[in-house]
Amino acid sequence: MSSRSRPRARPSPAARITDEQIGDLVSKLQALLPEARLRSSNDRVPSARVLQETCSYIRSLHREVDDLSERLAELLAAADVSTAQAAVIRSLLM
């Protein structure tokens, strides 16, 4: 059975989100994006664009975390585990 043929439960009127609330949430999300900080506050950006930029930004953050994790693993593998530097790194990871 496809997802289109299943009946959907309708949210209660109290559970529905308004267009104004969506616009407010998208504005807040846009303010968190580095690209958005470069734009004028008067520039109107479509919600779909904000969501695309958010997804791209999250993907770039994931790549950055992966890269930093690899670098940290290499540093820990190369470091003398008995040094003060290694102890500091371990304490930061715990």
Read off the pLDDT of residues 11-23 as tens digits, 9 standing for 90 and up: 666 778 899 999 9
Full residue range of the structural domain in which residue 45 is found: 19-93
- How many domains in the chain? 1
14 is a domain residue: no
9 is a domain residue: no
pLDDT at res. 26 = 93
pLDDT in tens, 67-93: 998 888 887 777 666 777 777 777 777
Report the alpha-carbon distance of residue 22 to residue 56 in Å, rounded: 20
87 is a domain residue: yes
